[in-house]
Structure 1
Amino acid sequence: MVMEMTFKKRLAVTAVTMGMAMAGSVGLASADDDVLVIGAPLALTGGLADEGKKQQDVWKLWLEKINAAGGIDVAGKKMQVKFVEYDYQTDGKRAGQLAEKLITDDEVDVIMAPFGSGHTKIIAAVAERYQVPMLACVASSVSVYDQGFKYLFGTLAPNTGMTESMVEFFKEKNPELKKVAVYGRDDVFPKSMATALANSAESGGLDVVYNELYAVGTMDHSAAISAIKSANPDWVYMTGYTQDLILGRKQLADMGVNTPIVTMVTGPAYREYTEGVGELADGVTSSTWWHHSTAYTNAVGAWSTTADFYADFTAAYKSDPDYVSASCAAAADVLVNAVQVAGSKDKQAVRDALAATDILTFYGPIDFGDNGMNQGREMPIIQVQGEEIKVLYPASIADAEMKMIK
């Protein structure tokens, strides 16, 4: 009781129901067979607020689509859908506590994971303990999925394939590429990407002349950037979250680091990044899991084509959706499909249906492997050119040639 009162005093609490009406923290009984209750601890304030807001926005859009159809069809009847969301303020410990509150107090049927591999891993342990199915739409580090969790499923493909294709592609586009500097945030996803890139670069015959991590919360990268400049790389690869990468790009420019290739993962995938650095975004490359130029049709879920999702999203938010928005919307579609296959909200039946999932969504194919991760596929390499995001790879959806930074 004391902990619950503390949450009510200290946390911004949102309950999102059909119609997206806002209310206080309310119990939504899962015992009602006609209502599917989805719990979502989100980082709506703090360092990951930009990312958390993306998840909240796209689930609002998705729920409006579900509302328009009168709910979802399950075992011959309509089932309503409700979201219960709590702001965990980008605090991992609080995220775990709120996940438990959603399960024990709000009696949710399933958990949607927040942004990032680190916080997803924390919440997955809670969901596993209570045997509640959990969908992660923005966690791609294998280290989250190698814990033996049976109730965790992720819509992003493993991040390891990204770095191998990027090294090969960049070597093809710049035959003079010899040296790479790797600089990553010491956090689950960014660290795994930095490690994977360094390994892929070495395997690809490149010289890794700098390979260091920076602490979470670092507000000055000048010492590291000075060392990078001294190493004279042809390619700078930096990982982190939006605010890290905005600061890093500005300091690279301020300190005169001029390399033909600057990659920031996953910087240009976010509008907030390109707006935050302005002209300095031009030429910056990144990798992502999805781009709206993909043309999937005959898809399962709220949107039958990629184009339909893109049209609804841009009409609602006046900006292009990125992979976070697409993956999280697809995760909701995957959940509904599992409930429909199971014919009920029974947690074990839904979990088993998720494990057997092999469907096409507007976001792309979803086929969970033995560890719960979506299977690997070719993932786009993108670049900011002028004020637009262009797809460089794979060739099937490429709409521009790579440009070197001058």
Structure 2
Amino acid sequence: MFSSKKKHLFLALGLAALLVTATGSQAKVEGDTIYMGVAVSLTGKYSTNGKNTKDGYDLAVKRINEMGGVKVGGKSYKISLIYYDDESTPARAAQLTERLINQDGVKFMLGAYGSGITKAMAPVTEKYQIPHVEGNGAARELFTQGYKYLFATLSTSDYYLREAVNLMAEVAKQQGKKPSQVRIAMAFENDPFSLDIRAGVTEDAKKHGMKVVVDDKLPPELNDMSATLTKVKALKPDMLVVSGHAKGATLVARQTEDMQVKVPMVATTHCDSAKIAENLGAAAEGILCASQWDRSLSYKDKWFGTAEEYAKLFEKEFNYAPPYQAAESTAAVLVYVDAFQRANSFDTKKVRDAIAKTDLMTFYGPIKFDSTGKNIAKPMVLYQVQGGEYKVVAPQRWASAKLIFPRQEASAKR
């Protein structure tokens, strides 16, 4: 039995006609509704990003259904999602995936939030040969296991903060220094996502000959970074790199301000979902943030229009600006819609093969999967908090503002 904490939420977004459940490899279709399953963190330490993920799915489903649904076999179908709360726990997510497949009859899965939870779910969907499209599990190891049914709309996590290291190397050259003179402090949560980011940062730091002077692991229940920041304050590195999900982004902004830790460049993940620009004022100024997506990018699709138009629709629906976790989740639903219609079928094998051949432009960016299920078409971007707003500063081709360096100049301008 599952506890009362389990939230089994049916989002019925279309009226079902005669109820007929498909059998065999066919998906669960009842009347004019195709059901998809989601185990996502509605409670627990990932609940903030879990809500972002859910909101992204819900907006996609609402939009698709408003536009007439999914056209398959000459008939239009609405999409409905069956949700369970994984409580931010990998083991629970795997259990719920089994339940969605075996008890609820779901034949198509959308992803959870987080690499650790996705890692627990992927063997289950692979065992049952259930297509599994996700936008929030970025760990490299997910795509080295030979999975044939797992696909990700996002860039893998080792690329999240590489751009910050390369940007630091460029700044050093502009200042007449060698990149090898740059000294880096790092602090990462001990989870697959953050450790992949560490791997990417250390690979590029080594490429430039940079010296790592602090290399800390953050505790799972992250409520304080003062131990790491005390070292940083004493050693005075040129750059501080942090990955601790939404809590880590909030803490690095707040505690560098409180402790008066002056670092010329600070780069982290999850700034937008943590809402550091909106909530922390001057403490957030100048911080660099890795992002899978930004509303200023010139991407466009037939469902939402431009990235900016998507953002405005999201804000109207949920009353907050969409972080990339929401956008990449919406994109996962669009991948399914495109694959259903190209396959002209709800047969799981045919849909899986159609997903594998995806070559799609969306408001979120281009989506094209390699043989491992990774999206190889979309680049990462890096933005900086400037004047209480997130401004894209790298790569140069996508930049909407110039980098403010050192970080303290951004705080002073505020």
* Both structures adopt the same fold (TM-score exceeding 0.5): yes
Contact 2:294–2:307, Cα closer than 8 Å, also in 1? no
- Aligned partner of 1:397 in structure 2 is 398
SS of equivalent to 2:2: helix
Q: Deviation string for 1:333-377 (max 9, x for gaps)?
A: 001111111111111111111111111111111100010010054
Q: Counterparts in 2 of 1:13-28, with a 5 A limit? A: 13-18=8-13
Distance in 2 separating the partners of 1:205 and 1:163: 17
Counterpart amino acid of 1:308? Answer: E
Q: Is the 8 A contact 1:246 1:276 kept in 2?
A: no
Distance in 2 (CA, whole Å) between partners of 1:11 and 1:349 is 32
- One-letter amino acid of the counterpart of residue 335, structure 1: Y
In the alignment, the residues of structure 1 paired with residue 378 and residue 331 of structure 2 have an alpha-carbon distance, to the nearest angstrom, of 16
* Contact 2:166/2:204 (<8 A) preserved: no
**What SS does the aligned partner of 1:6 have?**
coil
- Provide Cα deviations, 1:288-317, integer angstroms capped at 9, x if missing partner: 1111111123x35x2243343223123223
Unmatched 5+ stretches in structure 2 = 23-27, 409-414
* Equivalent of 1:291 in 286, 290, 294: 294
Task: Identify which range, 329-338 or 201-210, moves more after superposition.
Answer: 201-210
Partner Cα separation in structure 1 for residue 354 and residue 208 of structure 2? 40
Equivalent residue, structure 2, for 1:194: 198
Give the match for residue 355 of structure 2: 354
Aligned CA distance change for structure 1 residues 273 and 95 (closer, same or farther; 3 Å): farther
SS in 2 for 1:327: helix
Amino acid at match of 1:296: Y
Identity among equivalent positions (%) equals: 31
Structure 1 residues 168 and 248: CA distance shift in structure 2, 3 A: closer
Q: Distance in 2 between matches of 1:75 and 1:307?
A: 33
After superposition, the C-alpha distances for 1:223-279 in whole angstroms (9 at most, x for unaligned) are 22222222220111111111233123322333332111111113x232533344332
Q: Which amino acid aligns with 1:115?
A: Y
State how far apart, in whole Å, the 2-side matches of 1:150 and 1:85 are.
24
C-alpha distance after superposition, 1:170-218 (max 9, x if no partner): 2223435711101100001111102211221121121111112123113
CA–CA separation in structure 2 for the residues paired with 1:64 and 1:134 = 20
Q: 1:218 to 1:160 in 2, by over 3 A?
A: closer
Aligned ranges 1:237-276 → 2 under 5 Å: 237-266=241-270, 268-270=271-273, 272-276=275-279
Who is 1:38 aligned against? 36
CA-CA distance at 1:391 after TM superposition: 0.6
Asked if 2 retains the 8 angstrom alpha-carbon contact of 1:191 and 1:213, the reply is: no
Whole-angstrom CA distance in 2 between matches of 1:244 and 1:150: 33
Which residue does the alignment assign to 1:334? 335
CA gap 1:256/1:217 in 2 versus in 1, 3 angstroms: same
The residue aligned with 1:101 is: 99
Match of 1:220 among 217, 220, 224: 224
TM-aligned CA deviation for residue 94 of structure 1: 0.8
Distance 2:104 2:202 in 1: 44
Among 2, 5, 16, the alignment partner of 1:6 is 2
Query: SS at 1:85's partner residue?
Result: strand
TM-score of the aligned structures, taking structure 1 as reference length? 0.91
Q: SS state of the match for residue 10, structure 1? A: coil
Q: Which amino acid aligns with 1:199?
A: E
Structure-2 residue corresponding to 1:78: 76
Q: In the aligned structure 2, how far is the partner of 1:31 from the partner of 1:388?
A: 44
Q: Is the 8 A contact 1:156 1:289 kept in 2?
A: yes
User: What is the CA-CA distance between 1:162 and the residue it aligns to?
Assistant: 4.1
Which residue is equivalent to 2:304? 303
SS at match of 1:396: helix
C-alpha spacing 1:306/1:277, structure 2 compared with 1 (3 Å): closer
Greater mean alpha carbon deviation, residues 365-374 or residues 216-225: 216-225
Partner of residue 282 from structure 2, selected from 271, 275, 279: 279
Q: State how far apart, in whole Å, the 2-side matches of 1:111 and 1:341 are.
A: 18
Question: C-alpha deviations, 1:16-47, integer Å up to 9, x for none?
Answer: 12159xxxxxx987153743211011101111
Partner of 1:24: none
Taking the aligned partners of 1:250 and 1:308, their CA distance within structure 2 comes to: 32
Structure 1 Cα separation of the partners of residues 378 and 366 of structure 2: 9
Aligned to 2:25: none
Aligned to 2:183: 179
Identify the range of structure 1 (72-81 vs 29-38) with the bigger mean alpha-carbon deviation: 29-38
Q: 1:208 aligns with which of 197, 209, 212?
A: 212
Matched-pair contact (CA < 8 Å) for 1:72–1:336: yes
Which deviates more from structure 2 when the two are superposed, residues 55-64 or residues 280-289?
Answer: 55-64
2:144 is aligned to 146
Question: Residues 69-91 of structure 1: CA distance to partner in whole angstroms, max 9, x if unpaired?
Answer: 23211122111211000111111
Give the 3-state SS of the residue equivalent to 1:270 in structure 2: helix
Q: CA deviation at 1:166?
A: 2.4
Q: Secondary structure of 1:96's match?
A: helix
* Aligned mates of 1:13, 1:179 — CA distance in 2: 49
Q: Distance in 1 between matches of 2:228 and 2:164?
A: 23
Q: Report the equivalent of 2:168.
A: 170
Residues in 2 aligned to 1:163 and 1:237: alpha-carbon distance in whole angstroms: 8
What is the CA distance between 1:133 and its match in structure 2? 0.3
Q: Is the 8 A contact 2:159 2:197 kept in 1?
A: no
How far 1:396 sits from its partner (Å)? 2.6
CA contact (8 A) 1:12 1:86 kept: yes
The structure-2 alpha-carbon separation of the partners of 1:51 and 1:28, relative to structure 1 and needing over 3 Å to count, comes to farther
- Provide the rounded CA distance (Å) in 1 between the counterparts of 2:272 and 2:94: 28
Contact preservation (8 Å) 2:7, 2:83: no
